[in-house]
Structures are given as structure tokens and as C-alpha cells.
Amino acid sequence: MALKILSLNLWHDAGDWPARAKLVREWLDRLDPDLIGFQEALRVPRFDQVEELLDGRGMHVDYVKASDFWKKGGEHEAGDVGNAVASRWPITSREACVLPSSPDGERRAALSVTVDAPFGPVGFTVTHLNWRLHHGAVREQQVQAVCELALRRAPEQGFPPILAGDFNAEPESAEIRYVTGHQSLNGSSVCFLDAWAREADPVDRGFTWANRNPNARGELEPDRRIDYVFVGLPKRGGLGQILRGRVVCDEERSGVWPSDHFGVYAELRSELT
């Protein structure tokens, strides 16, 4: 039995959202995830993006605002974008935090929940870090804060902590090397396993921001892997062991792509061997 996890940046309602939403729902049907972490999830007076996507699926949802959102479309409307968690099982507790910010006022947040899964409690944390390529120093502060949150809230008896989201940083960066235990920052160190890297095809580079996707190409940024599912070291007996990791939501239909990012999907062992 596997615990199935999906992380996807929704790109709020940019582009042709109704057509994109249809593709995202098809991926949800195909993958049937138990836990979902959404970034850039939009909430405005006219609609709640995650509730609309998950309508009829019976999932438990929580949300944290990251920043304000304004859009001119017919008339001015204001709302917010943030991170959302969806779970097949009840969410028993939660903690949200605002992450260290950059001088330009870009605001980011993290949401950590505990889920009452049939095989024991699961700690699941979702985040979205600063996006500018030169904001590595800010992201270094942010990963330290979000890793501390995920580790502190991990159930003492249960699954290893899971951390997912749009980190806007490549695997070779200091901020991701910190998460994966290859580098310390400010005298501290942690170690999560990268679900995609552990199971990837050695030829595949796992890009989640790719110029073959026209929603991304307009930003004139290089192809890179910036979205992740991380998991703590497996427990004795294999609980939490990475079984599969792959890039998803990476196919177009009639010129429509699900988002400007591709998603990451992982399966973790949920039974002791």
C-alpha cells in the first residue's frame, strides 16, 4: 500500500482557467492522490479555486494566504493567493507561518497539517518560496524556517515528515542542498530525501519549469527543476520509503497546458515490511 502525494503550482487563474482546470481534474483522476499541496491557489469573492477543482471528491482542505491578489477583468476584484492542502483523511491540526521576506515586500507562507491516516498520523507541509533567480539568500532563510516547521510538527509515532511545494530553486542551489542534507546553513543542518531524484530515470532531468510549455516560455527563464516532494528518512521497517517519484501535469491538449509549472508526484510506503 502506498501513500500518494501530488504537488502543483496552479498559476492562479491565469490563461484559460476553465480549460486548464479540466486538465488538472483529469490528472487528479489519473493519479488519485491521497495528499495534495497546491501553490498559487486563488481565493477571490467570486470563487475558491481549490474548492472548485476538488468539488465532489470529498477531500479535507486547508489554506494559508501568502499574498494579496488584484486583477482587472471587467471590474476590479481583490483577493489572495496562497498554499492549500487537500487530504483524503481528516486534518486534525494545523499551523501556518509567514516566511522571511525580501526587501521588495514579496510575501511567502507555509502551511503544516497533521492528517489522521489509517496507518497513523502524517505530517504534511506545503510552501512556495521567493521566485526571483537572485533571491537565493532569501530562500536560504525560508528553507530553514519551513524545515524547522515540518520537523517540529512531525508526529513522534508515525510517518516521517513530508515537505512539498514550489521552491523556485534548483537541486544544486544552497537552499535545496540544505534541505537534502548536503550543506549546512548558519550552523544548522537537516536531511530530507528528494522523491523525484531517488527514483528518476538517469537521462531525465526532471524539469518542472520548461520552455516547451508556452505558459512558462514567456518569462524567458532557463529550463530547471524547482518543484519538489521531500520526505524524511524512512522509519524502521520501511514506513515512508520512497517507491516512486515523477514529473506530472506535463502534457498539453489542443495547445492548453495544466499550469505554467509541471507537478511532482510521489508514492511512499505506508506499510511496514
Give the domains, in start order, of the chain with CATH numbers.
2-269 (3.60.10.10)
Please work out, in degrees rounded to the nearest 5, the angle formed at the alpha carbon of residue 76 by the alpha carbons of 74 and 80: 125
Whether the CA torsion 170, 9, 17, 102 is positive or negative: it is negative
The 10s digit of each residue's pLDDT in 199-217 is 656 667 899 999 999 999 9
Q: Which residues of 120-140 are buried (b: 16+ CB within 10 A; e: fewer)?
A: ebbbbbbbbbbbeeebeebbb
Terminal alpha carbon distance of the chain: 11
Q: Are 141 and 150 in contact (CB under 8 A)?
A: no
Q: What is the pLDDT of residue 65?
A: 95
Give the whole-number percent of the chain exceeding pLDDT 70: 94
The 10s digit of each residue's pLDDT in 145-201 is 999 999 999 998 889 999 999 999 999 999 999 999 999 999 999 999 999 986 656
Prediction pTM value: 0.95
At 236, is the pLDDT very low, low, confident or very high (cuts 50, 70, 90)? confident
- Tell me how far CA of residue 204 lies from CA of 79, 200, 201, 221, 252, in angstroms: 38, 7, 5, 19, 19
Q: Concatenate the DSSP letters of all residues of 26-37 into one string.
A: HHHHHH--SEEE
At 46, is the pLDDT very low, low, confident or very high (cuts 50, 70, 90)? confident
